Homo-oligomer: A and B are copies of this chain.
Amino acid sequence: MVPTTAPQTDAPRARGEYRKTARRREEIVDAALVVFSRVGFVNSSMSEIAKHVGMTVPGLTHHYPSKTDLLEALFVRRDLDANERLAGRLGIDMLRGLVEVAQRDELDSALTRMYAILAAEATDPGHPAHEYFRRRYALILEHVHAAFLEVEASGQLRPELTPIEAARAYVAFSDGLQLQVLYHQDGVSQPTSVRRLLESFLTTSL
């Protein structure tokens, strides 16, 4: 059987269309970040975001039906950035990567605040972002657990702790710490605190 050539001749055009759409979606997410940061998530509107990116509201909702979808897209982009920073790093070096992610988060308090609010709201199983957060936490836990397993195998985990406990403590601490930083408790630095907590689980320094 000779395969039809149609997909091949169409493919470049389809890829071009895809790239154009992907770029458009990026621009929309950029605009959402600008608007959210300026007036806050609650006070911003889809029409304002549409205006900022030069689209109609139906054009915008075709790509992202709601503000929550846009916020989720922002978080997904942030997750991809974190994944790139952590990719291929193992054990202690992966833990060092977590400190770097905390450094990045500290620079973007507007998004961090929106993240904290949405993560709390979305604990309700009926919330549109519930599945995103549930999967996200499970994934982070899995990766950090893997890192602590490697740390344990190399004899660098304090013997009183299990890798899963250390991983769970990191995930919980990291979220709670964001709140403390946002309330401007004197002397709370996110990356330093994350490093110190991780070190308190280890027999070595980071």
In A101-129, the 8 Å CB interface with B consists of 113, 116-117, 119-121, 123-124
Q: Which of B169, B172, B183 is the one whose CB lies under 8 Å from A179? A: B172
Identical copies in the complex: 2
- Convert A167-198 into 0s and 1s, putting 1 for each residue whose CB lies closer than 8 angstroms to a CB of B: 01101111111011011110110000100110
Q: State the CA gap A38–B120 with chains docked (Å).
A: 18
Interfacial chain B residues near A121, Cβ < 8 Å: 117
**A164 closest partner in B (C-beta):** B187
CB <8 Å contact, B180 and A171: yes
Q: State the CA gap A158–B158 with chains docked (Å).
A: 12
Tell me if A18 counts as interface (CB < 8 A to partner B).
Answer: no
In A130-182, the 8 Å CB interface with B consists of 133-134, 137-138, 141, 158, 160-161, 164-165, 168-169, 171-177, 179-180, 182
Tell me if A83 counts as interface (CB < 8 A to partner B).
Answer: no
Q: Which of B40, B168, B173 is the one whose CB lies under 8 Å from A169? A: B173
CB <8 Å contact, A168 and B185: yes
Tell me if A200 counts as interface (CB < 8 A to partner B).
Answer: yes
Interfacial chain B residues near A176, Cβ < 8 Å: 171-177
- Convert A64-81 into 0s and 1s, putting 1 for each residue whose CB lies closer than 8 angstroms to a CB of B: 000000000000000000
Tell me if A36 counts as interface (CB < 8 A to partner B).
Answer: no
Q: State the CA gap A193–B176 with chains docked (Å).
A: 14
